[in-house]
Chain A
Amino acid sequence: MPIMSIEDFSFTYASAPARSLSNINLPIQKNCITSLIGPSGCGKSTLLRSLNRMHDLYPNNEYEGKLMLLNQENNEMENILDIKRENEFIELRQRVGMIFQKPTPFPMSIFDNVAYGLRISGIKNKTELKDRVEDALKGSALFGEVSDRMNKSAMGLSGGQQQRLCIARAVALKPELLLFDEPTSALDPISTAAIEELIVELKKDISIAIVTHNMQQASRISDYTAFMYLGDLVEYGETEQIFLNPREKKTEDYITGRFG
């Protein structure tokens, strides 16, 4: 069952003369990892950033079609493109979290970083905050490394630790869907392995969509893979099928390294 269903979705940047995404139809399956692959400029990040309406930060971008998000309370699909009010945006972004390419620790303590979203969502009780922060750090395999310096600045962590901190910060809000935008492309191989392991661990509770340039990464961790090219969705299917038995010539050419 999909947690999100992308239906006839198109997107145009304010500054661009033409659509950057056209007529995308794609499900994001619940408690699965869906990876978006494709050469640079194919629109995979643009698509990912649409799923929590990140493009609304900048004026005059245009969405068309539907982005249906599952409401887990009544099992109905709701179109997130209908969202207009500030508090609806806040709720959407707490339900659909995002991790960026470069680690983005805030200039504050490790504890305050993880507690940031919780405080925004109105949790003030100190013990509850402490518990949720610790749970999130444990769930992100970071607690052991930082438990003795929770009040130290997060800027002192290594790149890999900072990225896991950002994941903990997002996980603390108990999102339903977590979007990863090339989360390991700025990290060394060991940190990358730790993040991949963590992402696989997270899918028990959270559905995941990940944009990656690294095809080995997509084949290692994802259950479903979507291949995009020049703003179109070329092929979507189970990861094994896409990598071993692609239906489209373009997909085969890309995954065998003939272009891209």
Chain B
Amino acid sequence: MRLLLNKIVLLLSTVSALIGLAFLAWILFTLVGKGLSSLHFSLFLNDLIDGGLRNLIVGQFIMAGIASLIGIPLGMMAGIYLQEYGSGRYVRLIRDLSDIMMSAPSIVIGAFVYAIVVVPMHGTSGIAGSIALSIMMIPIVINTTDNMLSLVPRELREAGIALGASKYRVILDIIIKAAKVGIMTGLLLSFARIIGETAPLLFTSETSNYFSVDLTEAYPSLTVSIYALANDPTSSSRDLAWAASFILTMMVLMINLLGRYITRKKG
């Protein structure tokens, strides 16, 4: 009876795994098929107005980059506070809030930034998009930093203190170094997460057909443009959307692989 049950559970879980994998393979297959056929080197040289994707890719990276400049320091410092300084009720409250933030629907974050940045600035902008992405990023960075620091053995902290170092020196010189690989990987994964986001940008940065470094106006975004192009009835637009989707997927994939590579090499 137990053997039979074992076999049934094994069968069910194998089938479920296969179904999941099948859909994933299907998505990738379609993406590669349709994306590759529309992919052309000139897409990287021209802006959207001339039928290329250059401004969108650059814009997406700039917004994610600025979001990282805001989100990484804030998130890391909060994570360090949680693990090294805070204690008791407040720490639990902040951890819970951060976890809730992490699962907040990204469109809600977009709406929030629309209300506090876009409305007062009278228009969508690259800054608003970056802020929305950074809000998505902060809880992920907090969580990573918090978890990775918690893996550093207590003895290492005590050894630093026993040599006369003050607490902040021990954290900066020793603890963060000891947790470096894990934190780096987490930061890369959080970057990979926000670079593929659409909803927070949809009505914060919108997108633009032109190359732009002016962050106070509507800003080119690869993901928002995919959304717009896919809704466009002309077939050339849809081909461009496929190519953009393919490029975006490859970018996220590369960043994830890089994160795994760092962990395997140094961890």
Contact = CB atoms under 8 A, between A and B. Distances in A.
Interface of A: 52, 54, 57, 59, 86, 89-91, 93-94, 97-98, 100-102, 104, 106-108, 116-117, 120-121, 166, 169-170, 173
Given A86-B166, A107-B180, 4 more contacts: A94-B164, A101-B155, A106-B174, A106-B177
B161 A107 contact: no
Contacts of B180: 107
Nearest to A169: B163
Nearest to B181: A107
A121 B156 CA distance: 19
Contact of A107 (B158, B162, B163, B177): B177
Interface residues of B, number: 20
Given A100-B155, A102-B155, A104-B155, A54 B164 contact: no
B174 A117 contact: no
Nearest to B157: A57
A91 B178 CA distance: 26
Contacts of B157: 57
Nearest to B156: A104
A107 B164 contact: no
A121 B164 contact: yes
B92 interface: no
A57 B174 contact: no
A86, A100, A106, A121 pick with most chain B CB within 10 angstroms: A106
A166 B159 contact: yes
B196 interface: no
Given A104-B156, A106-B159, A91 B166 contact: no
Interface string B168-188: 010001100110100000000
Contact of B161 (A57, A59, A169): A57
B65 interface: no
B169 A98 contact: no
23 contacts: A54-B158, A57-B158, A86-B166, A90-B165, A97-B163, A98-B159, A100-B158, A101-B155, A104-B153, A104-B156, A104-B159, A106-B156, A106-B160, A107-B178, A116-B160, A116-B163, A116-B173, A117-B163, A117-B165, A120-B169, A166-B159, A170-B162, A173-B164
A121 B165 CA distance: 8
Contacts of B178: 106-107
Given A59-B87, A108-B177, A90 B164 contact: yes
